[in-house]
Amino acid sequence: MTGMHTPLNDTSRLGGLSYLNPLAPEPWASFVEQIERVRPHLGSLERWVETLIRPKRTLIVDVPIERDDGTVAHYEGYRVQHNLSRGPGKGGIRFHPDVTLNEVMALAGWMTIKNAAVGLPFGGAKGGVRVDPGSVSKGELQRITRRFTSEIGVIIGPDRDIPAPDVGTNAMTMAVMMDTFSMNRGGTATGVVTGKPIALGGSLGRHEATGRGVFITAREAARHQQIPLEGARVVVQGFGNVGGIGARMFHDAGARVIAVSDHTAILVNHGGIDIPAALAHVAANGGLAGFAGADTIDAEAFWGLECEFLVPAALEGQITAERAERIRARIVVEGANGPTTPAADDILRERGVLVVPDVLANAGGVTVSYFEWVQDFSSFFWTEDEINARLERIMVSAFDAIWKIAQEKAISLRTAAFVVACHRVLEARAERGLYP
């Protein structure tokens, strides 16, 4: 039955790629399975579907630096360009000690789908360095960033592949990347990255864009499900740039954020957490630990809280099949990339829980990155109100189109988003043909 979870053998789960470990297939295996579920809806375009489970280009680089104590350290870096049929690659750079090629490939694949689902003229790409930013000094981190940028400089550029911030990176990381690329090129190239500081060609509204997009899609899902935002209970996993901003927007809309979590604490207050106070606490202390406006709760109990909205906004693979059985939310809005496994997806659908998928819900960030890229090319910048209005139009239009497909085909919103995106990508592939 289409849409049901059918485990694939190890080779199939990896798309037949020999360089991945079949004993550790995730999260690439989840992406491959999501693509497989779209096959019945592709018609004549199915002949091109292998394009989507074979990344166009993978680059693994060594990132050596001299540490402050004079020793030499080596870090492993990646840049994956999953698909460039619709335009230059677009996707973040992740600095995290557990980054793997498998993970970067999956994230690049989801970027291909995300960009196509909301109609942006980009392909999908992603990058990462296996480093804990907190374990190195500011100078060491800058040297890692510069060397990594120089190593991947052979494949990035304003019209080739445009990185952006992700987990463990920020606007200053992008400033250093932009400067490094520009110095190597011999001229300032502001459009090589997005998510930059405003002074270096960044866009107003970019910092809040991903969280804003999460809120917009949650609001639209609630409208279709006839769930009022006023008084709605919200649970948010992850309290950074996505979860924290999304929580604040829910709070401002009159919803009751009853639980939040980050790497330091898991907190609950059934009467509603004072989100502005919690954000101020995090800004001052680096995490939720010690916040006096809520009680601590067990990690697994967190997933069983009764609520209208559950927003996983941390890392991938958080909602497993086991957790999906316990979730008591009416709508799951994926702020993170790949937080729900395919098996969990099926369980949530069977239990009547609506899932707004990552490739739609968190597309606000890349949408405003697109605006930034366009503004850098034209050297003409919009106001924040103009940015937010354009973001609103694109997100609502994409949501409505995907909702319509889901209703017409009786499929999940995730599969509907993949149907829309895969048609756009594979049609471009078919029109371009094969070279040579």
Burial 323-355 (b: 16+ CB within 10 A, else e): bbeebebbbbbbbbbbbbbbbbbbbbbeeebbb
Residues 313 and 208: their CA atoms lie apart, in Å, by 14
> How far apart (Å, rounded) are the C-alpha atoms in residues 20 and 105?
10
**Sequence-ordered strand ranges (E) for 143-271:** 161-165, 233-237, 256-261, 266-268
What length is written for the chain?
436
- ∠ at Cα 215 (418, 307), nearest 5°? 95
- In terms of C-beta density within 10 A (0-12 exposed, 13-18 middle, 19 or more buried), how is residue 148 classed? buried
Those residues with Cβ within 8 angstroms of residue 198's Cβ, 6 or more apart along the chain or in another chain: 204
* Helix, strand, coil distribution of the chain in percent, nearest 5: 50, 15, 35
* One-character DSSP codes across 11-56: HHHTTT-TTS-TTS-TTHHHHHHHHHTTGGG-GGGGGGGGGGGS-S
* Residues with a known catalytic role: 126
- Taking the C-alpha atoms of residue 372 and residue 382, their distance in angstroms, rounded to an integer, is 9
What is the DSSP pairing of strand 89-95 with strand 72-83? unpaired
Rounded CA-CA distance 84/121 in Å is 10
Q: How far apart are the first and last CA of the chain?
A: 39
The CA-based angle 382-398-319, given to 5 degrees, is 110
Look up tokens 């899902």; give the residue: 221
